[in-house]
A and B are shown apart, each in its own frame.
Chain A
Amino acid sequence: MSTSVTLSKVRKHFGSVQVIHGIDLSIDPGEFTVFVGPSGCGKSTLLRMIAGLEPISGGELRIDQELMNEVPAAKRGIAMVFQSYALYPHMSVYKNLAFGLETAGMKKAEVAPRVRRAAEILQIEPLLDRKPKQLSGGQRQRVAIGRAIVREPRIFLFDEPLSNLDAELRVQMRVEIAKLHRDLGNTMIYVTHDQVEAMTMADKIVVLRLGHVEQAGAPLDLYNNPANRFVAGFIGSPKMNFLDAGVEGADASSAAIRIGGEKVVLPRHAKGTADGKVEFGVRPEHITIAGGDNRIPFAKVKVDLVENLGGQTLLYTTLADGQNLTVSLEGQRNIQVGSSVDTFVDPASCHLFDADGQVI
């Protein structure tokens, strides 16, 4: 049976410095929630507060409706996988896995089958007699996850668990953690600064900045409907293009926007700021160099650099007024640097942000 987590006005300060500013968040039972944000946004601190490793300065943390603010870490039914793995170097893999169970006073006969079962799930049975120093990074990560599994916790917490692995292994472990979540069905909270990890693994992404939740929701909701410029820029790779623009005219169903000398009419309402200045956002993959399929002409751009990635081609271009625009095209294209190309956008994929960065 899975477990819910609810945060109400949760705050954290270190001395006079407040780092978490009254966060409200609800995590459903069995949900895979990812806290994502840049360094210093408070995502790890929030995770550690849920774990019980950091005292909560204000607000309420409830696990399955039970108030947890003052409950010791060991009694919250939580297991955590650390970025550094935090394996005990002097113990064998078996001992590392068994440590928590032995601490809980479990008999050896009960410990052994649980350790074996966790080792089986993670395919680390041949490694049980080894010491952590005899393991590769990926194997250590599996042991760290095994140490969490073996305790059969209500909630799994992961604090940037893949950041010490190389790119290939990271992808592999990402898949395995997602599979583990599917098999176990536990509530999992995962911290990362890598938005790709967040997009690929999460049921719910919580984007944090400076101790505030910028937006929480399903990955594609955040991708398609970012609440503000920060989320729009943080989610998606390559990141969204942001262009200075001006609202020239708007009515209930359309808005005429001038960008880099070009006039674009978007079939949507746009209440401009007092001086008519807005920021126009469009993702590189939502720009094409051919019309059709509800696409409207956007701007003529000069190609400064072409990156052929095989499956896609990235164009780094400049608008007439010197603003930069990145374009991501599917497949391999033969486009010359220095040439000019016409671009097209789907108005439904365009975003407008006001001076405060909030979506219009």
Chain B
Amino acid sequence: MTTIASPASPYVPTGGRFARALSRNGAGYMFLLPWFIGFFGLTAGPALVSLYLSFTNFDLLTEPRWIGTANYVRIATADPRFVASIQVTFFYVLLSVPLKLAFALLVAMALNRGMKGLPWYRAIFYLPSLLGTSVAIAVLWRQLFAGNGLVNSFLANFGIQGPSWISNPDYSLYTLVVLSVWQFGSPMIIFLAGLRQIPQDMYEAASLDGASKWRQFWKITLPLLTPVVFFNAVVQTIEAFKAFTPAFIISGGTGGPINSTLFYTLYLYQEAFGFFRMGYASALAWILLVIVALFTAFSFLTARYWVHYDD
């Protein structure tokens, strides 16, 4: 009987699907490793730990003790500063975001008229966005709006006696809103890019139809810009909810006068690093996360009714 040797079978890696994927894509995962380390070690891990801590009475000095939903119950029922910070933050978000977007769009439209030296103007207008969240600018803002600051000196030229903007609870939050609007550079650049995407033909067709510039803005520019408005609105809303530095510097970390600049993040900071109530601050942080998530979800759910995508 003749035996015929079978040809050597091709190499088939042994092990499970995961092992095979790892052997095939190992190099790729190695390149991703720094990101994975950063994400799990510095973002996801601490976030999950803070979720656990929000159900404890952790105070940095003693072992965290599980207290169930007590922190959340207290926040919801017996914390007037929480209510004050929510009010201040919502007022700030709802006023500063639309104003900033409107101002950014206005400047973007002015820059979109094909003026000379456009790159320079773009850089100059973008500058406040780079500097705006810094401590130095917040200090400068404090000087500008102080009782004897530059703003009041300017007003005095017209015989107007300006109030002490920062120490008066009626105006203090508005100075922070103005600071926020002043940092319009980032949404402005995105608006400018969006405006450049709108074909000139559309405006020409509209002008042949007799549409005024005003009507062209409402019927063509704004609807075609809605994807950019949507993006900017979501990003700026999240940023506004997270705003901390200006309020911290201008109020000297107190959120005053009379809680008028007590941003949510500032209140959270006071609880965590002023009173060392880490468990309670973690609960506050998770509530902020839920609020921002709800806002974002609401934006996405309503987008289908007002955001126009070409494709």
Quick one: which of B208, B211, B308 contacts A90, CB cutoff 8 A?
Answer: B308
Quick one: which of A74, A82, A84 contacts B207, CB cutoff 8 A?
Answer: A74
> Is A17 in contact with chain B by the CB < 8 A criterion?
no
A89 to B209, Cβ gap below 8 A?
Answer: no
B210 to A86, Cβ gap below 8 A?
Answer: no
A103 to B211, Cβ gap below 8 A?
Answer: yes
A151 to B209, Cβ gap below 8 A?
Answer: yes
A78 to B209, CA, bound (A): 9
- Chain B contacts of A9 at CB under 8 A? none
0 or 1 for each of B194-211: is its CB under 8 Å from A? (1 = yes): 000001011011111111
> Is A347 in contact with chain B by the CB < 8 A criterion?
no
A74 to B215, Cβ gap below 8 A?
Answer: no
Closest CB-CB distance, A102 to chain B, in whole Å? 9
Chain A residue with the shortest CB-CB distance to B223: A90
Give chain B interface residues in 32-47, CB to chain A under 8 Å.
none
Closest CB-CB distance, A70 to chain B, in whole Å? 15
> Is B224 in contact with chain A by the CB < 8 A criterion?
yes
> Is B311 in contact with chain A by the CB < 8 A criterion?
yes
B223 to A82, Cβ gap below 8 A?
Answer: no
A84 to B198, CA, bound (A): 12
Tell me what chain B mostly uses at the interface: helix, strand, loop, or mixed. Answer: helix
> Is A100 in contact with chain B by the CB < 8 A criterion?
yes
A151 to B209, CA, bound (A): 8
> Is B51 in contact with chain A by the CB < 8 A criterion?
no
A137 to B268, CA, bound (A): 57
B210 to A89, Cβ gap below 8 A?
Answer: no
Chain B residue with the shortest CB-CB distance to A153: B208
Chain B residue with the shortest CB-CB distance to A95: B219
B199 to A86, Cβ gap below 8 A?
Answer: yes
Chain A residue with the shortest CB-CB distance to B207: A73
Quick one: which of A72, A82, A147 contacts B201, CB cutoff 8 A?
Answer: A82
Chain B residue with the shortest CB-CB distance to A83: B201
> Is B63 in contact with chain A by the CB < 8 A criterion?
no
- Chain B contacts of A99 at CB under 8 A? 206, 209, 211, 219
Give chain A interface residues in 69-114, CB to chain B under 8 Å.
72-75, 78-80, 82, 84, 86, 88-90, 99-100, 103-104
Chain B contact-residue range equals 20 to 34
> Is A63 in contact with chain B by the CB < 8 A criterion?
no
B202 to A86, Cβ gap below 8 A?
Answer: yes
- Chain A contacts of B102 at CB under 8 A? none
Closest CB-CB distance, A161 to chain B, in whole Å? 12
User: Which of A72, A75, A103, A133 has the most chain B CB within a 10 Å cutoff?
Assistant: A103
A82 to B200, CA, bound (A): 11
A104 to B210, Cβ gap below 8 A?
Answer: yes
Closest CB-CB distance, B285 to chain A, in whole Å? 39
0 or 1 for each of B179-221: is its CB under 8 Å from A? (1 = yes): 0000000000000000000010110111111110001000110
A82-B204, A90-B223 as given contacts; A100 in contact with B209, CB under 8 Å: yes
A103 to B207, Cβ gap below 8 A?
Answer: no
> Is B310 in contact with chain A by the CB < 8 A criterion?
yes
B311 to A133, Cβ gap below 8 A?
Answer: yes
> Is A53 in contact with chain B by the CB < 8 A criterion?
yes
- Chain B contacts of A213 at CB under 8 A? none
B205 to A82, Cβ gap below 8 A?
Answer: yes
A56 to B210, CA, bound (A): 19
- Chain A contacts of B207 at CB under 8 A? 53, 72-74
Chain A residue with the shortest CB-CB distance to B211: A103
Chain B residue with the shortest CB-CB distance to A78: B208
Closest CB-CB distance, B207 to chain A, in whole Å? 5
- Chain A contacts of B202 at CB under 8 A? 86, 88
> Is A10 in contact with chain B by the CB < 8 A criterion?
no
B204 to A86, Cβ gap below 8 A?
Answer: yes
- Chain A contacts of B211 at CB under 8 A? 74, 99, 103
> Is A278 in contact with chain B by the CB < 8 A criterion?
no
A151 to B210, CA, bound (A): 11
A258 to B233, CA, bound (A): 78
> Is A303 in contact with chain B by the CB < 8 A criterion?
no
Closest CB-CB distance, A133 to chain B, in whole Å? 6
Chain A residue with the shortest CB-CB distance to B220: A88
Known contacts A73-B208, A90-B224, then 17 further A-B pairs from the complex at CB < 8 Å, ordered by chain A residue:
A52-B208, A72-B207, A74-B209, A74-B210, A79-B208, A80-B204, A80-B205, A86-B201, A86-B205, A89-B224, A90-B223, A99-B206, A99-B209, A99-B219, A100-B209, A100-B210, A103-B210
Which 8 residue pairs are nearest across A and B when measured between Cβ atoms? Answer: A74-B210, A100-B209, A86-B201, A90-B308, A86-B205, A90-B223, A89-B310, A82-B201
* Chain A residues near B (Cβ < 8 Å): 51-53, 72-75, 78-80, 82, 84, 86, 88-90, 99-100, 103-104, 133, 147, 151
